[in-house]
Amino acid sequence: MKKIGFIGYGSMGSVILNGFLFSGAIRPDQVVVSSRTISKLSKIKNKFPEIEISSNNRATASKADLIFLFVGTSDVKYVINEIKPSISADTHIVYISAALEMDFVGKFFNGKITKVIPSLTSEVLEGVSLICHNLNVTSGESKRVNALFDSISDVKIIDEVDFDVGADITSCAPAFIAKIFMEFAEAASLNSNFSREETEEMLIKTLYGTSKMLHEKKFGFENLITEVATKGGITEEGIKVLDKKTPEMFDDLFKKTIEKHEIIKRKLKEQP
């Protein structure tokens, strides 16, 4: 019986693998994981003794029919070339690099490829995982991968052309949201007697409550704004400021991130 292979155990890889295990989507004895720094795997081995660990990527690949590559974007090509002698035409490879196009990966691995953009929010079994499968992936194989990510997030199947902006919305957004509210907390502290710690605490709890209302009550952004910003009130004055300032800011944000996606894609295509 083939196992599920995991190559690489960095920050996102550890979030995903631990999520699969803690959610019960896979059993520890189904897993073989390798990292060039074997000491990185000591914690997960202690938690799940049945897991097989290795410092040899080819050994991991030889034991698995489904392989997750949790390595840097520029390392995906080299790792696939490294494990090629140990895999077959039925091997299904999943990678998590937004800028790495599947057609490019297909030039050095003409097999079953799935591209996934996960989110750090999967650490708390929330958020969205964006998924796209190539034509070699069968219906059963796609359902298998979709089910795994569904155990740690909501799954959204998209066309590859939408990955750049999609990644900004789901994968990058936790950092964008944190930055926006960090500045909000700082400004609130400077304009009050509250400490920075107090304003952050209040905002985090308010953000949590707002998210629950949007999600659980199906409010929608516009409806929630209307509920809070009564005509002629204080909130409405703040909304007017945001109406003037934020559209241009977010246009610039997407312009810069999309430019960076394109730069990375060009550099990857220039790899020897």
Shared-domain flag, residues 124 and 181: no
Shared-domain flag, residues 137 and 195: no
Phi, psi of 35 (to 5 degrees): -150, 140
Q: Cα–Cα distances in Å, from 139 out to 79, 99, 128, 133, 203? A: 26, 25, 21, 10, 44
Domain boundaries, position 11 = 3-158
CB atoms within 10 A of CB 180: 13
Residue 249 belongs to domain with CATH number: 1.10.3730
Contact 119, 170 (CB under 8 A): yes
Out of 158, 187, 214, a domain closes at 158
- Beta strands at 128-133 and 112-117: parallel, antiparallel or unpaired: antiparallel
Contact 5, 17 (CB under 8 A): no
Q: Could you say which residues of the chain have pLDDT below 50?
A: none
Residue 46 belongs to domain with CATH number: 3.40.50.720
Out of 106, 137, 158, a domain closes at 158
Report which of 117, 127, 151, 115 is spatially closest to residue 20, judged by C-alpha positions.
151
Shared-domain flag, residues 73 and 42: yes
Structure letter (DSSP) for residue 73: G
- Look at residue 270 in the predicted model and tell me its pLDDT: 84
Report which of 89, 86, 130 is spatially closest to residue 109, judged by C-alpha positions.
89
Shared-domain flag, residues 142 and 173: no
Out of 125, 140, 158, a domain closes at 158
Shared-domain flag, residues 232 and 170: yes
Report which of 73, 72, 171, 161 is spatially closest to residue 129, judged by C-alpha positions.
171
Shared-domain flag, residues 131 and 215: no
Shared-domain flag, residues 204 and 247: yes
What's the pLDDT tens digit per position in 219-262? 899 999 999 999 999 999 999 999 999 999 999 999 999 999 99
Token pair 């489904």 is at which residue?
66
Q: Cα–Cα distances in Å, from 245 out to 181, 238, 241? A: 15, 11, 6
Per the structure, the count of domains in the chain is 2
Shared-domain flag, residues 75 and 195: no
What's the pLDDT tens digit per position in 116-145? 999 999 999 999 999 999 999 999 999 999
Kind and range of the H or E run holding 168: none
Helix ranges, the chain (H): 11-23, 42-47, 57-62, 76-83, 102-106, 139-150, 163-167, 173-190, 196-216, 221-228, 234-269
Shared-domain flag, residues 20 and 143: yes
- Look at residue 271 in the predicted model and tell me its pLDDT: 78
Shared-domain flag, residues 127 and 178: no
Greatest CA separation found in the chain? 70
Structure letter (DSSP) for residue 214: H
Shared-domain flag, residues 47 and 150: yes
Shared-domain flag, residues 104 and 27: yes
> Residues with Cβ < 8 Å from 27, sequence gap 6 or more?
50
